[in-house]
A and B are shown apart, each in its own frame.
Chain A
Amino acid sequence: MKVWKYGDNINTDMLFPGKYTYTCSVAEEIKPHLLEDLDPSFSSNVQSGDLIFAGKNFGCGSSREQPVIGLKAVGIQAVVAESFARIFYRAAINQGLLLIECAEAVEAYQKDETVDLDLMNGKITIGPKTYTFPKLPKEILAIREVGGLLPYTREKLKKKGCK
């Protein structure tokens, strides 16, 4: 498992360039362009289970869910950042990509340290130290538990029945 470390204000154009937004919408089209203008080595070297660590305001900018879909599809276990921009945060809930807001963990992380995530208890261990992050509200957990917003909506519609 590798940790990809980036700085503050990683915006949606860095995560997935705007010029592709109307030509790429499914995971296989998105993957080769992930982080293209930020880190050209990312898309060919990322492996399932990797983590991203970043600073403040991760995902700021456009309403652009391709980076969320792409990061989920390449198997990013979680993005740990000091803070996230809200549309990106919402998109991650809707796609089932795990985002963890934990400034202490980001600050503490040194290159090549081991990282262990304990989602059930809201804990992240970096080297010898463990940090906690707040659990998600029940409304959001309900979306996460069924695998994202569309499965959640499908269940809701089934319960309501056909019009």
Chain B
Amino acid sequence: MGPSSLIVLIIAAIAFSGIAVLVSKVLLKATKNKQKGQPYECGIPTQGKTMVQLNVGYYLFALIFLVFDVELVFLYPWAVVAKSTGWLAFIEIVIFFFIIFMGFLYAHKKGALKWM
């Protein structure tokens, strides 16, 4: 398995996806209608354009949500080792909370939590 295997892999990857597309083109009988171009094929017809400006507040809320989301993700592995590490683990997680909380306070101070 020298360099040839790598080249074979690349060719195989291209061929695999290419053949799949080709086969579907050949076998399927393509029909075109307006409904197919819709983002959702069922439900109420969409209104207006999709490229509209969204309020920046959505992004800010998403970011703040992410802060606590990541915090929770870190809490799980911490909880596993908390008992064996003892008080040091507790102090470290408090420092971690403190860091996250500072970021939250900053967002609050900047008015990121005020809607509109």
Are these two chains actual partners, yes or no? no
